[in-house]
Chain A
Amino acid sequence: MKDPYEILGVAKTASADDIRKAYRRLAKKWHPDLNPGNKSAEERFKELSAANELLSDADKRKRFDSGEIDASGAEKPRQQYYKDYAREGAGGHPYDNAGGFADFAEGDDVLAELFRRHARQARRVRGQDLHYRLSVEFLDAVNGATRRLSLPEGGVLDVTIPSGIQEGQVLRLRGKGAPSPGEGEAGDALVEISINPHKFFRREGHDIHLELPVTLSEAVLGARIKVPTPAGPVMVAVPKGSNTGSMLRLKGKGASKPGGRGDELVTLKVMLPLEADTELDAFLSKWSPGQGYDPRRGMQP
């Protein structure tokens, strides 16, 4: 290998700054990507990088100057250069730019036709995907709906919300994105769904949770009561002796999922009368729960 000082064109006494400047000046001239058609540039640049690698490191430079190491082995293996990829196949390359010859394509001779063909290939790039957010009502997300999205750049997009859609799910609307800068196909619109909370339904996966207030007598004696579900109210039997926290499972009343629907899980909450009830007071003053019943037994220290 040649003398690294010679390669960079600096004296042996050159300062670190001189070396940096010399390398910069030569690298600008010989960087292979700035010389896409010049095969010798790659070789020159490899030499330059190796010389710089050696001399820009004060320690390595000292060891080289004292003869401890030689100039070989300083070459770093380098991944391929961009030019090697830019050369690949015509058309479809995302960075294609026909700006360098668009004017040549305007004539009506054979060459113009050839340039036109290449400009067309460069223009066949697909349009960009556009991203939107759409917040939907809780019940629309469970039952499915069609909602209209007003686009910030004008126009509207009708979005069909499939039933059972989940928070954060992204709907891809083919061809509804940005048009191609040329003649390629349009990009897609990607709509991210956020679901507004509901007044009393809560969703966990495909199941719907509901806290349902019941009266004392409905809980103690059992009753048939109307329970709201996302698909409308249904009649449900509350078993005799239910309690706050008792859970009823309404099969198939949840959000749709692959191969069926989730369940609605109803948690009962016993509510005492809002106003003082003398009859109840009178009854309870004579009544006591079974011998030894202590609801706080588990909390004894």
Chain B
Amino acid sequence: MIISKLDFLFRAELDQETLDLWVEEEWLVPAGPATDPAFSEADLARAQLIRDLMHDLGVNQEGVGVILSLLDQVHGLRRAMTGLRQALRENTAEGADPGST
């Protein structure tokens, strides 16, 4: 579902200036043109994560960028791993069961 900028500011409890900064830092990458950005539920959850990092965990601005970048890599790895697991499973199902001979 697409969330408009105004809705997003309200639901994420953010002010315009903070959101602009986060987008500028590429912590959030909304779809659509900058004049009419479209946010997703994933962006909303990501904004909540950034707020947790800054407010609850005491991470400073530099740290947030590092953490997000590493997290994105972790998720990239997790997805690659999921694909790998699936491929291995399919391979095993196709071929003869190596344990039976």
Contacts and interface: CB of A to CB of B under 8 A. Distances in A.
A118 B45 contact: no
A271 interface: no
Contacts of A188: 33
Interface residues of B, number: 35
A111 interface: yes
Contact of B76 (A34, A85, A99, A170): A99
A27 B73 contact: no
Interface stretch (A74-82, A141-149, A231-239, A276-284): A74-82
A24 to B, nearest CB: 6
Interface string B70-84: 011111111110111
A190 B75 contact: no
Contacts of B79: 87, 90, 96, 118
Contact of A111 (B41, B78, B84): B84
A86 interface: yes
B41 A100 contact: no
A44 interface: no
B52 interface: yes
Contacts, number: 111
Interface string A113-126: 01101110010000
B77 A82 contact: no
A47 to B, nearest CB: 14
Contact of A95 (B72, B78, B80): B72
Contacts of B44: 79
A6 interface: no
A88 B83 contact: no
Interface string A2-32: 0000000000000000000001100110010
Interface residues on A, range: 35 or more
Given A27-B57, A81-B49, A82-B46, A36 B35 contact: no
B80 A114 contact: yes
Given A81-B45, A85-B45, A114-B83, A33 B29 contact: no
B67 to A, nearest CB: 8
A97 B83 contact: no
A28 B57 contact: yes
A84 interface: yes
A99 B73 contact: yes
B46 A101 contact: no
Nearest to B68: A95
Interface string B34-65: 11000011101110110010001110000000
11 contacts: A37-B78, A82-B49, A85-B45, A86-B78, A88-B42, A90-B83, A98-B76, A99-B69, A99-B76, A101-B76, A114-B84
Interface of B: 29, 31-35, 40-42, 44-46, 48-49, 52, 56-58, 67-69, 71-80, 82-84, 87
The 7 closest A-B pairs by CB, nearest first: A85-B42, A100-B73, A97-B72, A86-B75, A100-B77, A118-B80, A82-B45
Given A88-B42, A95-B29, 18 more contacts: A33-B49, A33-B71, A80-B41, A80-B45, A81-B48, A85-B46, A86-B72, A86-B78, A87-B75, A95-B72, A97-B69, A97-B72, A99-B76, A100-B76, A100-B80, A111-B84, A115-B84, A118-B79
Interface of A: 23-24, 27-28, 31, 33-34, 36-37, 79-88, 90, 93-101, 111, 114-115, 117-119, 122, 129, 131, 170, 188, 190, 192
